[in-house]
Structure 1
């Protein structure tokens, strides 16, 4: 298990890229819209992990509301797991709560979020590669 990415919610992806790509010198390896989540993302590897910039496609979706309430900034930390069902079962056995069901993206990756009340205020994503 290791940190896969740290997600940063932003209003303006181009402005954010001026810092992360241009000032820090990170390379954008993926830029796409994730319709099911209502975001445009840009992924910038940094060592064994990456920074994932999230721009809401709709100001009324969860990322848009997050920015409205808290401002731009870290939205969640994503942990790569080998077996997402086992990870969820282990956490739930310890009293942790998920925010919903395990979802599968078009590319086969699977993910679920651990409720911040279970993690001392940090939204955590569990992520399994196909």
Structure 2
């Protein structure tokens, strides 16, 4: 069901500072930047590598406000890994299968994610304490 690690989401206080760090230290390149009002974040996806199942990224997340999920995470835990995103071929089918196995779904239906992906989150308490995102990438243009 899981095809790859799509991205690692990292919460940060200063998006520009963290982008500069990842570019300067690891040579990563920003693939996209977005403001996602629904999720309350400014974000950047930094390309790590391409594999047979698709690309992998580091996703940097800065909260738009302190009362957003990422803002609350930063206040409680500080900067660091916020979630892991796994690639799936069909996010709706993955939600049905995983939900059918008793894992609580934070999203009953997919929503808009970075770079046009369809995404959904699983409850961290049912996934070993890890906020887990399912990512169906936008189809590639041919």
Tell me the TM-score range normalised by the shorter chain.
over 0.9
Post-superposition shift, 1:41?
A: 0.6
1:55 to 51, 62, 70: 62
Deviation at 1:129, TM superposition (A): 2.3
| 1:49-128 alignment runs, 5 A limit | 49-105=56-112, 108-128=116-136
Name structure 2 gaps, 5 residues minimum: 51-55
TM-score (structure 2 length as normaliser): 0.85
2:67 & 2:34 partners in 1: Cα distance? 20
C-alpha distance in 2 between matches for 1:39 and 1:108: 16
Contact 2:91 2:110 in 1 (8 A): no
Partners in 2 of 1:108 and 1:13 — Cα distance?
20
Higher strand share: 2
Distance (Å, rounded) in 2 between the aligned partners of 1:82 and 1:24: 29
Query: TM-score when scaled to structure 1?
Result: 0.92
Structure 1: segments with no counterpart, 5+ residues: none
In 1, Cα distance between equivalents of 2:136 and 2:73: 25
Count of residues in correspondence between the two structures: 130
Deviation at 1:32, TM superposition (A): 1.7
Listed one character per residue, the Cα deviations across residues 57-116 of structure 1 (whole Å, up to 9, x for unaligned) are: 111111000000010100000011111111111111211111133233286521110101
Q: CA RMSD in A?
A: 1.5
